[in-house]
Amino acid sequence: MLYTLYEAGYYACTPLRYAALAARDFWSSPLNPAADTALGRRLYASSDLFANLTRRYGKPDWKVDSVQIDGHIVRVRATEVWSSPWCKLTHFARDMADMRRAGRRELEPAVLIAAPLSGHYATLLRGTVEGFLQDHEVYITEWSNARDVPVMEGSFDFHDYIDQIRLMLRQMGPRPHVVAVCQPGPAVLAAAALMAEDDEECRPASMTFMGSPIDARLSPTVTNKLAEEKPFAWFKSNMIYTVPGPYPGVGRRVYPGFVQLASFMSMNLEKHQDAHFRYLQQLMAGDGDSADKHLEFYDEYLAALDLTEEFYLQTVDVVFQRYLLPKGELEHDGRRVRPELITDIGLLTVEGENDDISGIGQTQAAHDLCSGLPAELKEDYVQRTVGHYGVFNGKRFREEIYPRVRAFIRRTDMAFDKRRAAA
């Protein structure tokens, strides 16, 4: 019922939104002699803010058309190379002629960035992609919005996520590298453990976990405590709703993106209110640059997708309530997941000192689980002064975190080259 009421509210606001858009265009028109008056700027700013607060935020564009490599501009084209109803694998192909002009003539390591399936689109990792494009062939998981997947396609749960990761790694060829950002850490580690046990040719050469809840029992945050305090039945009763028409997934039970977004914003409500008030003041003052930065951030932040009931509830149960992976009790297709059997996959963990989503130690727990790995294939790094988002985006990521990940990937490849030569 809530989903239907939400949609009804959106459509009920449509006439007011169109009126606000018309007012915004009228009071910003250069043909309007009163546009540059204090009253005109106030009316323009108010109508623009109302239109933005009531509009639909769809999947943002990647806007990754080029990357600078060694002082040269290299063109980039996002290409879908594999897909299922639940995900598509996107390759950011760099122009080879531009790469040669930049002095890059050898094939560079392939990296799969496992984007979180936790509400926001993969485009939230735009900065992460741009960083890795400097030195790697970059692939990323783009998960589907559950409301757009017809019920006839079946269900999608935590174990399907593991299977999809394995399929995409196989698509990339022998020994790619994988980087799990936040939520997918446990599923990616499980996929790597299963592939290692099966001695698959396409098992990862290295795995990097960034702010991931490998063991959510450690340094619990507000998010972790909520999952612990509420019984499992509470999440099923209060967080799951049915997709209404006219979406293709009508009838599917989901954890709606707008519900998760409301949860996120309620944690820092005053901060978001202040940001929108500043935006209003910036428009009235004619500060277009600052207003554009506000819009750029919220175009990404307010774009949220739905998760299937099965995936959301299993993640709460497996990762945040029963802690099956760190306790050695996670089973997949009737097999126990055994990270201790990983012997030749490099492991790098990255955490943020001020992370309020995945506390210090939750990601580091992967080292204890991967007890079969030699010390030279393990590395841990804690970035000072950054929170959760800063672990995979922003200045600290570009200047301090990414260079360490790049060096680790290179060192891992060199170690495997020596092993192959010795064999």
Please write the tens of the pLDDT for every residue from 318-371.
Answer: 999 999 999 999 999 999 999 999 999 999 999 999 998 899 999 999 999 999
Q: Give me the long-range contacts of 68-72 (CB less than 8 A, separation at least 24).
A: 68/134, 69/94, 69/99, 69/102, 69/104, 69/133, 69/134, 70/102, 70/103, 70/104, 71/102, 72/98, 72/101, 72/102, 72/103
Give me the phi and psi of 317, to 5 degrees please.
Answer: -70, -50
Lowest mean pLDDT among 71-85, 181-195, 292-306, 337-351: 292-306
Report the pLDDT averaged over residues 169-178: 95
Question: Token pair of 179, please?
Answer: 């980087």
Question: Token pair of 120, please?
Answer: 């926001």
**What confidence tens digit (pLDDT) does each residue in 374-401 have?**
999 999 999 999 999 999 999 999 999 9
Strands ordered across the beta sheet of 346-352: 66-69, 72-84, 87-94, 137-143, 110-114, 177-181, 206-210, 346-352, 378-383
* Closest to 354 (Cα-Cα) out of 399, 392, 380, 385: 385
Compute and round to an integer the Cα radius of gyration of the chain. Answer: 23
**What confidence tens digit (pLDDT) does each residue in 298-332 have?**
888 889 999 999 999 999 999 999 999 999 999 99
Question: In the chain, how long is the greatest CA-to-CA distance?
Answer: 80
Measured CA to CA, the distance from residue 398 to residue 376 in angstroms comes to 25
Measured CA to CA, the distance from residue 292 to residue 10 in angstroms comes to 24
Question: Token pair of 162, please?
Answer: 């593991």
* Closest to 122 (Cα-Cα) out of 172, 80, 176, 154: 80
Measured CA to CA, the distance from residue 20 to residue 275 in angstroms comes to 20
Q: Please, which residues have CB within 8 angstroms of residue 408's CB and are 6 or more apart in sequence?
A: 206, 208, 346, 348, 379
Report the pLDDT averaged over residues 80-106: 94
CATH number for 66-231+307-422 (one of 1.20.1260.120, 1.10.3330.10, 3.40.50.1820, 3.90.199.10): it is 3.40.50.1820
- Res 422: pLDDT: 64
User: Are the beta carbons of 69 and 104 closer than 8 angstroms?
Assistant: yes
Q: How far is CA 104 from CA 98, 131, 243, in A?
A: 9, 16, 48
With pLDDT > 90 as the criterion, what percentage of the chain qualifies? 70
pLDDT at 180 over 90: yes
pLDDT at 415 over 80: no
Average of per-residue pLDDT values in the chain? 92
Give first-to-last CA distance, the chain, whole Å.
63
pLDDT at 128 over 90: yes
pTM, two decimal places: 0.92
- Res 95: pLDDT: 95
- Res 315: pLDDT: 96
Looking at 221-330, list the stretches that DSSP marks H as alpha helix, in order from N- to C-terminal side.
222-229, 232-238, 257-267, 269-285, 288-301, 309-315
Report the pLDDT averaged over residues 56-62: 90
Q: Identify the band that residue 148 occupies on the pLDDT scale cut at 50, 70 and 90.
A: very high
Q: Where do the domains of the chain lie?
A: 2-56+271-301, 66-231+307-422
User: Are the beta carbons of 218 and 185 closer than 8 angstroms?
Assistant: no
